Amino acid sequence: MTKKTLGLWALLLALPLILGVLILDQATKWWAIADLCLLPLEGTLKSCASLEGARLGETAYWSAGRVETFVPIIDLDFHMNDKAALSMPIPGPPWFEFLLLLLIMAILAGWLWREGGRHNIIGVGLILGGALGNLVDRALHGAVVDFFALHFGGWTAFIFNVADGAITLGVIWLFVEQLFLKQRRNAQAVVS
């Protein structure tokens, strides 16, 4: 089998993980919109889910309030993020962000196709699934739905979603794979 054929198989094998992350991410975000988001309308607060076609990123909203979870450092708290990772501003018009995200995703998919490898499938699948989840949010809502609040005492460190978690895990996976595991496999190949 040629390297390009192996790379194509790697992309195909990453597809279920990409779709799984995308589906889980979107399902949890729709739940957060339905249960954690409130919009002030007509002197009262109404559920964001009851408003068809509302672009939440362009509308004032209220969080239903922080909800404690069974995990001591993570609570549920609805937010809309119209910025990039770590709330960094995104330069240029909205179409530039879509173009930039698509370019990064294409480069990552091309890298997996070129490199192949079963170890890379997990990292790239997590990253692409998360990136697609956040891209769908920006297209539908004008911003990304975040609802997991990582906190330490009264200090909130990050507010994120399933897609952000998948991207972070994917980057860590690829970093460990490229830095440590690939070196070990290469050393073992030299010894054999």
d(CA 178, CA 181): 6
Two tokens at 116? 């192949």
Beta partners for residue 46, in sequence order: 39
User: Which one is catalytic: 25, 75, 77, 146?
Assistant: 146
146 a catalytic residue:
yes
* Cβ-Cβ contacts under 8 Å for 148 (sequence gap 6 or more): 74, 75, 76, 159, 160, 161, 165
82 a catalytic residue:
no
- The residue written with tokens 């690939």 in the block is 182
d(CA 36, CA 48): 8
* Cβ-Cβ contacts under 8 Å for 140 (sequence gap 6 or more): 55
The residues assigned a catalytic role are 146, 164
